Amino acid sequence: MPLGDKPGWEKSESRYCGVEAEFDDDIANLLSFNLNLGAFDFVVAPLMNPTYRPSLVQANSGGTCVLPFAGSDLVLSPSQWSSHVVGKISHWIDLDSEDETLRMDSETTLKQEIAWANHLSLQACLLPSPKSKSCANYARCVNQILQGLNNIQLWLRIPLTKIDDASMDANSGELVDSWEQWNSFRILCEHHSQLSVALDVLSSLPSVHSLGRWFGESVRAAIISTDTFLTNARGYPCLSKRHQNLIWGFFNHSIQVVVSGTSLRNTAAPGSDLVTNHSSDNVENLQKHPLRSYLDYIGYLFQKMDPLPQQERYELGYRDFLQSPLQPLMDNLEAQTYETFEKDSMKYMQYQRAVSKALLDRVPNEEANVTTVLMVVGAGRGPLVRASLQAAEETGRKIKVYAVEKNPNAVVTLHSLVKLEGWEGIVTIISCDMRYWDAPEKADILVSELLGSFGDNELSPECLDGAQRFLKEDGISIPSSYTSFIQPVTASKLYNDVSSPFFFLSHTLSVFMFSARLAPPQSVFEFTHPNNSTTKSNERYKKLLFELPDDTGSAMVHGFAGYFDAVLYKDVHLGIEPSTATPNMFSWFAIFFPLRTPVCMKPGSSLEVHFWRCCGSSKVWYEWCVAAPTPGAMHNTNGRSYWVGL
């Protein structure tokens, strides 16, 4: 039973909770016990007897025949196997052991078990953690298996250890950051999309920054040991605040929770903690599964999560989709796109506030009957015209509006709006590209919204430079400036899913559900309007240095998330840069600048990044590269993958 359908949560957003079980040769009973009595959604269970060793079987049989190593596939229905069982690969396997027999047995067993899981159409198998820092043979073997696998996912079990007291490698005696172990393994497996992580959550947690790295990784499950739980005043299991936040993070990232271990408390029904064996005789004596109170607590945490705010509910439909960025200058936007913009009331409220302030500054009370010429350039279907008229009404100022729009289809709507809203005599519609319009008079205020996720990437600078001819010398531009920002991110799930990073280059990443932000954003390019600089060049170049917080450990950078912040007028701003983002605004998602080859950053190293804004006669584009810690290729040379047409 899913953890609960809550008002505010989409049905697809329900979360599932599994339980880790020991080997039982009666898997039908094991499943019924955990699903029916325990109310868990799935079981992570060994598929083979843990005492099985291929070498022993061969020795005992004279090396001629291989005895059955697992039960029959008929004991469960195909849908039970695929929906309710995750295969747990024998924990004893050690493919990098010095002991050759163990190593060979391990390889045979791993291949047999996964072939069996494949035969059963299981959705996933849990691979045991690598036994030592060096795991090349294990990875080689898994990589071989991955090449011939159907749809099954392989979850590599990785302990969520602190770096400072990270597990000591048994062979080398070195400290192992478990993220590095995962990183080596997935690199050896060529970032295969069917290889992901199952995190073992322990009672002590790494730092927030170190934990944050995992949210950019392809983590499918979080295994929470009963040892991790505390006991509340009433004797029930509960988790520390940090663990609670972590579980909410997992829920938010669609990571399934698995409870593991034995009941450590006297919280179940009388007699239940004596239960180590769940044969049907005992079932009758029990009212509760020994881990039921742990599941109830996980369900309670799910229920306690705040319902999604309206903005996030809207964003759900766009999570981790890659979309081509708009080309509003070169192309004509469609009605549906305008409609989406127009629902974003927060954006227009900010514009209305900015226009009100500008009108009050420009026209003192004693001159309130003087008419201000306001031009909305790139008027679309009119929302900024409406916001400007409302600002005039609110401030008691008189305005005359020109609505300039180059999309002939949107102009049709503008004309009908004039009639519908009674704007005749106040609003003049101009069907023209602002760069070429011969205006009959100059504007006091120029209002525009030509901003992309990265601020200038929809060519606002080029359009407004063209429109500046008809702005009075002392005229006001709303926005008055905008700045782009980038920050390095781990986005491994997306990187894996969209196997070609070249695909990234021409696409915007919607919502960053599966990314981890590794360092605070830094500003890249700024544009100011009116543009009074003497050079008037819109080309830009910026070198940036990012440092990872000390307690992060190593991390993989897959690219850069890009944002903008715009000053509309004085203190009224609009933007998506996370630390100052305008709340409840959904017109823009972050843009993603990928790296063809991800860069691994070691603790203490810094990331040197170079960004260029390049302008040609018919297009504008960005180029970028990483120069340190290791120099990488130049991206998007001459705008070959992503450019915006003038």
Ligand X SMILES: C[S@@+](CC[C@H](N)C(=O)[O-])C[C@H]1O[C@@H](n2cnc3c(N)ncnc32)[C@H](O)[C@@H]1O
Residue 602 marked as a ligand binder: no
Among 13, 26, 421, 433, binds ligand X (CB under 6 A): 433
Phi, psi of 613 (to 5 degrees): -110, 120
Peptide bond into 530 cis (omega under 30): yes
Count of CB atoms situated within 10 Å of the CB of 445: 25
CB of 491 to ligand X, least distance (A): 26
Q: Which residues contact 299 (CB under 8 A, 6 or more apart)?
A: 3, 4, 17
Q: Which CB atom, from 105 or from 449, has the smaller least distance to ligand X?
A: 449
The count of residues in the chain is: 646
Contact 429, 385 (CB under 8 A): no
Joined together, the tokens standing for residue 187 give 């690199």
- State in angstroms the smallest separation of the CB of 566 from ligand X: 12
449, 456, 565, 577: which one binds ligand X (CB under 6 A): 449
The C-alpha atoms of residue 563 and residue 504 are separated, in whole angstroms, by 17
Candidate residues 28, 308, 322, 333; the one interacting with ligand X per rule CB under 6 A:
333
Least separation in angstroms between residue 487's CB and ligand X is 24
Instruction: Supply φ then ψ for residue 407, to 5 degrees.
Output: -85, 110
Tell me: does residue 404 bind ligand X (CB under 6 A). Answer: yes
Q: What is the CA radius of gyration of the chain?
A: 30
**Segment interacting with ligand X (CB under 6 A) among 101-109, 221-229, 236-244, 432-440:** 432-440
Is 314 annotated to bind ligand? no
Nearer to ligand X, 372 or 407 (CB): 407
CB distance 530 to 475 below 8 Å: yes
Nearest approach, Cβ of 249 to ligand X (angstroms)?
A: 34
Among the listed ranges 212-220, 226-234, 308-316, 401-409, the one in contact with ligand X (CB under 6 A) is: 401-409
Residue 512 neighbours by CB distance under 10 Å: 20
Q: Identify whether the C-beta of residue 578 lies closer than 8 Å to the C-beta of residue 614.
A: no
Specify the stretch interacting with ligand X by CB under 6 A; choose among 20-28, 403-411, 474-482, 490-498. Answer: 403-411
For the bound state, the minimum distance from the C-beta of residue 552 to ligand X, rounded and expressed in Å, comes to 37
For position 378 contacting ligand X by CB under 6 A, the verdict is yes
The distance of closest approach from Cβ of residue 410 to ligand X in the complex, given in angstroms and rounded to an integer, is: 5
Q: Which two tokens stand for residue 24?
A: 């039982």
**Cα 152 to Cα 142: distance, rounded to the nearest angstrom:** 13
Active-site residue, from 113, 458, 462, 577:
458
Stretch that binds ligand X, among 41-49, 152-160, 429-437, 599-607 (CB under 6 A): 429-437
Q: Is 458 a catalytic residue?
A: yes
Contact pick of 384, 399, 478, 548 for ligand X (by CB under 6 A): 384
**Among residues 128 and 382, whose Cβ is nearest to ligand X?**
382
SS3 425: coil
Helix (H, G, I), strand (E, B) or coil at 241: helix
Number of chain positions touching ligand X (CB under 6 A): 21
Stretch of 62-70, 148-156, 376-384, 557-565 contacting ligand X, by CB under 6 A: 376-384
Burial group, residue 473, by CB count within 10 angstroms (0-12, 13-18, 19+): exposed
Measured between alpha carbons, how far is 299 from 476 in angstroms, rounded to an integer?
55
| Residue 338 is labelled as binding a ligand | yes
405 with 375: CB under 8 angstroms?
no
128 contacts ligand X (rule: CB under 6 A): no
Nearer to ligand X, 24 or 449 (CB): 449
Residue 407 is a binding residue for ligand X (CB under 6 A): yes
CA proximity to 458, closest of 515, 527, 401, 408:
527
Residue type at position 498: V
Nearest in space to 578 (alpha carbons), one of 499, 482, 512: 512
DSSP state letters, 42-72: EEEEESS-TT--HHHHHHHTTTT-PPP-S--
Q: Which of 27, 268, 410, 576 contacts ligand X by CB under 6 A?
A: 410
Applying the rule CB under 6 A, the residues between 356 and 375 that interact with ligand X are none
Residues 6+ positions from 525 with CB-CB distance below 8 Å: 455, 456, 483, 484, 540, 542, 611, 613
d(CA 561, CA 610): 14
| Peptide bond just before 521 cis, omega within 30 deg | no
Secondary structure tally for the chain: helices H, strands E? 18, 27
Point out the catalytic residue in the list 113, 180, 217, 449. 449
Residues 458-477 that bind ligand X (CB under 6 A): 463
Specify the amino acid at residue 453: S
Instruction: Work out which of 220, 289, 357, 406 binds ligand X, going by CB under 6 A.
Output: 406
Given 236, 318, 341, 612, the residue binding ligand X (CB under 6 A): 341
Q: For ligand X, which is the closer residue by CB, 223 or 404? A: 404
* Shorter beta-carbon distance to ligand X: residue 13 or 342: 342
Q: Would you say 193 or 337 has its CB closer to ligand X?
A: 337
Stretch that binds ligand X, among 23-31, 70-78, 273-281, 428-436 (CB under 6 A): 428-436
The angle formed by the CA atoms of residues 368, 374 and 376, to the nearest 5 degrees, is 150
Give the residue, chosen from 216, 383, 455, 598, that forms a contact with ligand X under the rule CB under 6 A: 383
Between 341 and 502, name the residue whose CB sits nearer to ligand X: 341
From 19-27, 246-254, 280-288, 326-334, span contacting ligand X (CB under 6 A): 326-334
Rounded least distance, CB 527 to ligand X, Å: 15
Cβ-based nearer residue to ligand X, 105 or 405: 405
Task: Cite the DSSP H helix spans in 321-407.
Answer: 335-342, 345-362, 383-395
Among 197, 295, 379, 516, binds ligand X (CB under 6 A): 379
Residue 640 Cβ vs ligand X, minimum distance, rounded to whole Å: 24
Tell me the three-class secondary structure of 255-275, residue by residue.
CEEEEECCCCCCCCCCCHHHC
- 347 marked among binding-site residues: yes
Contact of 299 with 17, CB cutoff 8 Å: yes
Asked if residue 219 lies in contact with residue 253, where contact means CB atoms within 8 angstroms, the answer is yes
Minimum gap (Å) between residue 446 Cβ and ligand X: 12
Output the smallest distance, CB 467 to ligand X, in A: 8
Q: Which of 221, 329, 403, 567 binds ligand X (CB under 6 A)?
A: 329
Active site positions, annotated: 449, 458
Contact residues for ligand X (CB under 6 A)?
Answer: 328-329, 333, 341-342, 378-380, 383-384, 404-407, 410, 433-435, 449-450, 463
Residues annotated as binding site for S-adenosyl-L-methionine? 338, 347-348, 405, 433-434
Residues annotated as binding site? 338, 347-348, 405, 433-434
